[in-house]
Structure 1
Amino acid sequence: MAHDDVNYDPFDYALHDDPYQVYRRLRDEAPVFHNARFDFWALSRYDDCLAAVRNFGLFSSAQGTTLEPLKAQLPVLINADPPVHTRMRHLIAGLFTPAKVAVLEDNVRTLARTLLAPHRDAGRIDIITDFAAKLPMAIICRLLGFPSADEDKLRDWTDTVVHRDEGVFEMPDEGMHATIALFGYFDEDMKRRAGEPPRDDIIAALMAAEAAGELTHEEVLGYIFILSIAGNETTTKLIGNMVFQLHRHPDQLALLRADPALLPSAIEETMRFDGPTQMMARTTTREVELHGRTIPAGAKVALLFTCANRDERKYEHAEMYDIRRNPRDHLGFGGGLHACLGAALARLEAKVAMEELLAMMGDFAVDEAGLQRMHSPQVRGFTHVPVTFTA
């Protein structure tokens, strides 16, 4: 039964402030929702989203993971189904295992301390602009071998790619220009390397795969594009969301201070409760019958991961933030074949970032009047999280 007054519009800025009441109504009243204005469907319950990410034959990624049509068909991992996806992912998956990522911890910690040093005595910091926006980009630039002088420029471009204008269905022109700028930058970097001794970084590994005929040049560029965006945006937002939730839930902060071993569990709970990846889209390859409704073949379907993560059918007291929960099966990193390749790196960066922040800040408070959100149908998080703290 469709409820005409339930509306989910991911391009509405008002929804970005607090989507959770709308999400609850979707789960309870319209688990298969159709948005007639933009002609897409949405799944909101945990079991339905999990089944969809596991069934790539029915819910395909080949038409992109955004609701709007692809402006250009880029050969990127995230927009591929098997067998192309299998080949591309196999080449790089080994670079992001927890063991490979663990050796970066000292690097991440040194960078975190360097970024925090100017703010230690100030008693105030913008968690995003002063710290969380800089740390992941610095790490991904190290992994890709880009000069640190280019970090700000690359971060601006990647932010522009994911931004959406209010009520507008497709990527703004600025986003397209930023995409072209990124591809141009990556191409120039690879041309420069051709005349240098080989380095030991991810791009060198991808170039070797291209030379061996395992990847096309376009696929290599697509890889670097996804790594630079995914490695920047979501980790930044995770750190900001976590500081905000600990500010809002002082009882949970007290638990974490009393038992720092809870930090990995607290990160998982933040990913579940207020994760940065709101939604990923798929396209149906044939008709789907679900909850008494028929989704047609060739339809765009939004999989609402953050909504599914608050499904009471899956988690007890799902609308409560409880850092002792340790929900390792949440959909904050997606699932199935497209489960986030960089999850181990994101977990490491978030862990080190929070350890260093909590070590620097005694009592702290978010200045809620100064909070600013980013606007994207897919990514949820802040662009500004001003905090005052005692040393």
Structure 2
Amino acid sequence: MRIYVSRSGQTFGPYTIEEAKSFLGTNQLLASDFALIEGSSEWKSLPEILSQAQTDPQPEIPFQSQEKLHVVANQNQEKQKSEALEESPKVSESKIKKKSDSSKKVQKIRKSKGGQIIMVAQEKSFFSKILSVAFIFILLFLLAIGGIVGAYFAMPSKVGPILGRFGLEMDNLIEDSGNESSSSEMKNPSEIMLSEDSWNTLRSSGIRIQSVVGEKGVQVISSVDPDLAMKDDDLEKLMIIAPHIISLDLTDSKVTNAGLEYIVKMPNLKKLVLEGTKGVDSSAIFKLKTLSSLQHLNLIRLKLDPTAIDALIGLEPIQEVYLFETGLGEADIKRLKNSRPKVFINSG
């Protein structure tokens, strides 16, 4: 079980019960602080939460069921059929009337032409032909674009280089569209509309996608199974939901410095956990400077050098930093605290 702690309008955490008790004993957390059990919505005093703590794991939010969409579609089809049956008498009467009118016209023609039937087909105008051709061309063009985009999301590593030869840099297009959509309302996992193939791509990677307590957006968690731990390729797959990600937990993952290129494309990311991610070092921290919403950064058990302090000082929106077992000395931590006195820094 993990808890969040609130003090003076700022929220810290999550912490395990043991961590919270330890911080309370060292006065890093105070008895006057309020606390919230992860997955619940009721704030209580920190001592009360610690005394009443019970194991209550947060359930995962399932992916949006495609079957619901099929049920709704079937219901709409049944409704359309019933409406069509109701209107059928009117249609029949209309056809009979038209047929009657047509018969009168044919009789007039027979009388005026000595009983001979003359069939005259009205030729389409030139403008109508142009419209028909243009409509077909636009339809085929949209189908082709849809097929190309779908193929890219299904196999980005294979299709991307092919499109690059024709000057179509899909990574840049995705980044631009992500920036535009970042200002729009974020969605929970069940509200995100993706194709079945896209959801299957995310499921196959072992990535867990959950809702966030108390706000819109999603949190992504790497699998605890070492064989299914997230890699750089998995971060690339997340680009289809990048604007909605506000929390990314990569604890003990196989992500490297190269994977940070995808993380910085998550415009609304607030919390990043890199704990125990051996493939990430101090040089990667500098890349996080472009994340304008990043508030919480967990670097526990990363092997860092003093240059990481310079990178952390440059992270303007940051509010919490965790630096246990990073190899940084007391002088380095002190320099960070002096440069960013308002940041909550926990170095163990």
Please, what TM-score do these two structures have when normalized by structure 2? Answer: 0.25
**Greater relative CO, 1 or 2 (CA 8 Å, sep 6+):** 1
Please, what TM-score do these two structures have when normalized by structure 1? Answer: 0.23
